[in-house]
Amino acid sequence: MLQAQLTIDPAHRVAPVRRRTFGTFVEHLGRCVYTGIYEPGHPTVDEEGFRGDVLALTRELGVTTVRYPGGNFVSGYRWEDGVGPRERRPRRLDLAWHSTETNEIGLDEFVRWSRLAGLEPMMAVNLGTRGVQEAVDLLEYCNIPSGTALSDLRIANGAKEPHDIRMWCLGNEMDGPWQIGHKTAREYGRLAAETARAMRMVDPGLELVACGSSGSSMPTFGAWEATVLEETYDLVDHISCHAYYEEKDGDLGGFLACATDMEHFISTVVSTADQVGARLGSRKKISVSFDEWNVWYMSRVQAAAPRQDWPVAPPLLEDHYHLADAVAFGSLLITLLRHSDRVAAACLAQLVNVIAPIMTEPGGRAWRQTTFHPFAQAARHAKGDVVRVEPVCPTYGTAEFGEVPVLHAVATQDDADTTLFVVNRSTAEPLELELDAGPLGAGGGAVRIAEATTLTDEDMYARNTADDPDRVVPRPNTSHRSDPLRIVLPPVSWNVIRLSRA
């Protein structure tokens, strides 16, 4: 059995837990919208056509914000197509996903669904095929109370009160050659700056996100951020990061360490932003909006034959996640929390059916994928302040990341609880973790493990399905009962440990 020690010291506070860390993403892609959040005629449907079972699972998941409408989709999207009477809305080709978009769901329906789910909407504007005027028009429609052509159009369409959307993404992945309207960093930076300047003329209090790199492996990574921020630094609040990970060539150990890349990604973007700020003589700090992240088996998509037809809401990117995926996913969540001083928001991409924690059958059941559980537990238990912890533990070698620690962890603490989120990356051995909570107990009595749960399975590739939705779920871990500060963590496991004073 492996051995590890971990000290929790409130002096190592990082920042308050940011509720926007637990955001999600709804894109017009595959079955995310149609037969995902919206399916007229479903047994659980409400009067607007929204699936009640998906709404209930969304609330249980604990997401706080939702980004919309894309994603690659937004770079060809005309928002006007999705407002007004449904019978007058045009059907359009969606070039990004080679589908037909019916526009049954648009801006106003999305905002109503967000409010039903208790989520803050986060809107992306099209800077691929459109520009400054269209972004300002969309903002006027959304946020001006009344008295203008577009605000009055919103009221006529049934939305009397303004949507008051505060956070806006200036395009999507404009560094990617796959993107409709792909631009160089200088071209995009100039357009983003002009768009931001005009939007702030309408509403100075907006939070604006500039497009960063679509991944740390992009050939322009680093240089892209530097150039874009040179153009936009005083006009935006955040710069985006996007990252997806998958097991490659059977290298499970390397996959479980994929958060190493996310750590590098965040640190590099922060350093680049700070360097630009220093060069410009600015005291302002740019934050990171990690508004797309997940486990995604992208290699399967790249290997598939191109579509020749234009179907409505075809099944696309419907990855079925197993235990190891959930553990790697949990490690990514730990990384986002560890960087709460600079990561202001994050969006799990996506919410339903498309590389998602929630799956549905058209007309039928909905269930929780394995990745649902780490997210829901972190959203529920991460409160107060983030506390950085650095376990003393064995390491193991990986082809991509070199030597990595077998244990990955973060703590959060409020007046009532201290909670540890811990991943055991070992593929073969359990790990006995000894906790040192000395500073927590100073003047307040002994500290003990009050409760612990573990997400694991004998089969590292076990999945949840509609027929067996609870195969992989968090279960009580009682191995600490013989010693209140020692606990055994199984191999390939996600663990939540709550500490309290005896």
Sign of the torsion angle spanned by Cα atoms 109, 115, 119, 121: positive
Query: Residue 360 carries which side chain, given as an amino acid letter?
Result: T
Can 173 be counted among the known catalytic residues? Answer: yes
Structure tokens at 478: 């009682």
Q: Which of 173, 225, 231, 247 is catalytic?
A: 173
Spell 209-221 as b/e; 16+ CB within 10 A means b.
bbbbbbbbebeeb
How crowded is the C-beta side of 356, counted as CA atoms within 13 Å? 31
Residues 6+ apart with CB under 8 A from 43: 363
| Distance from C-alpha of 349 to C-alpha of 293, rounded to nearest angstrom | 6
Q: Tell me which H or E stretch contains 225.
A: helix 223-232
Under DSSP, the state recorded for 312 is B
| Distance from C-alpha of 352 to C-alpha of 345, rounded to nearest angstrom | 20
Spell 103-128 as b/e; 16+ CB within 10 A means b.
bbbbbbbbbbbbebbebbbbbbbbbb
Which residue is listed with tokens 């037909």? 100
Q: What is the dihedral of CA 65, 260, 359, 319, to 10 degrees?
A: 140
**Edge-to-edge strands of the sheet including 447-455?**
13-16, 385-387, 407-413, 418-424, 493-501, 447-455, 475-476
Q: What is the dihedral of CA 321, 60, 354, 126, to 10 degrees?
A: -140
Question: Torsions phi, psi of 467, nearest 5?
Answer: -85, -25
How crowded is the C-beta side of 240, counted as CA atoms within 13 Å? 28
How crowded is the C-beta side of 375, counted as CA atoms within 13 Å? 33
Question: Torsions phi, psi of 218, nearest 5?
Answer: -65, 140
| Distance from C-alpha of 372 to C-alpha of 477, rounded to nearest angstrom | 19
Catalytic residues: 173, 292
